[in-house]
Amino acid sequence: MTTASQFWNRVAERYAASTISNVEAYEHTLTRTRAHLGPGDRVLEIGCGTASTAIRLAPSVATYIATDYAAEMVRIGREKLARGGPPNLQMLRAGPGDGALPDGPFDAVLAFSLLHLLPDLPAALAEMRGLLRPGGLLISKTPCLSGPWHALRPVLGVMRLAGKAPPSVRFLSPARLERAMTAAGFVLVEAADHNTRPVRRFVVAQRP
């Protein structure tokens, strides 16, 4: 885990300082996410970065645990919370497969711009499903680098060798992403493109 998170530790300060490229699409994602959350909900976010989204969503639920496997992301996020975050929001260093994610059951598990980065997507989806109560929701948004975006593969390979790209990036189509979710035992509740070029697929999937 330490090696895999090195890239994200290195870019964490820059990531925290970056601006949202499409504010309208981001706000739409927040709105659609809130539509599936309730004031009594216990929520877990995985791959939360520096907690920007967690800070926006936590006031809509009862408790919110935001997690990321990169220590620097967590450090910066905790600094933000110390300056005045929602009182029901806490941050932990944890990720799928490391045994450190908090115990469920959760009403919702959130994963924004994360699923395409996971080295073992089927195992991670199974773990997320196991963290949800029956009827609980996996709410995700995922860049889908399918079709012409495959041309980026060699470029990403070179960038990775130079330490300028994440250790694993999956080139998913929306259909493949959704098939992975149904194969993990989820039922799709909502799916839509929230960005184009590349598509960022918003998917709400329910544990039956």
Ligand X SMILES: C[S@@+](CC[C@H](N)C(=O)[O-])C[C@H]1O[C@@H](n2cnc3c(N)ncnc32)[C@H](O)[C@@H]1O
Binding site for ligand X (CB under 6 A): 5, 8, 46-49, 53, 68-70, 73, 95-96, 112-114, 117-118
Minimum Å gap between C-beta 55 and ligand X is 11
Locate the DSSP E strands across the chain. 42-46, 63-68, 89-93, 106-112, 132-144, 187-195, 199-206
Task: Indicate the residue among 26 and 134 with the shorter CB distance to ligand X.
Answer: 26
Structure tokens at 25: 């699409």
Task: Indicate the residue among 112 and 186 with the shorter CB distance to ligand X.
Answer: 112
Minimum Å gap between C-beta 168 and ligand X is 8
Distances from the Cα of 24 to the Cαs of 12, 28, 29, 30, 112, in angstroms? Answer: 24, 6, 9, 10, 16
Minimum Å gap between C-beta 11 and ligand X is 9
Q: Judging by beta carbons within 10 Å of its beta carbon (0-12, 13-18, 19+), is residue 85 exposed, middle or buried?
A: buried
Cβ partners under 8 Å of residue 66, min gap 6: 45, 48, 51, 54, 58, 77, 89, 90, 91, 92
User: Residue of minimal CB distance from ligand X?
Assistant: 95
Minimum Å gap between C-beta 208 and ligand X is 25
Minimum Å gap between C-beta 118 and ligand X is 5
Task: Indicate the residue among 20 and 158 with the shorter CB distance to ligand X.
Answer: 20
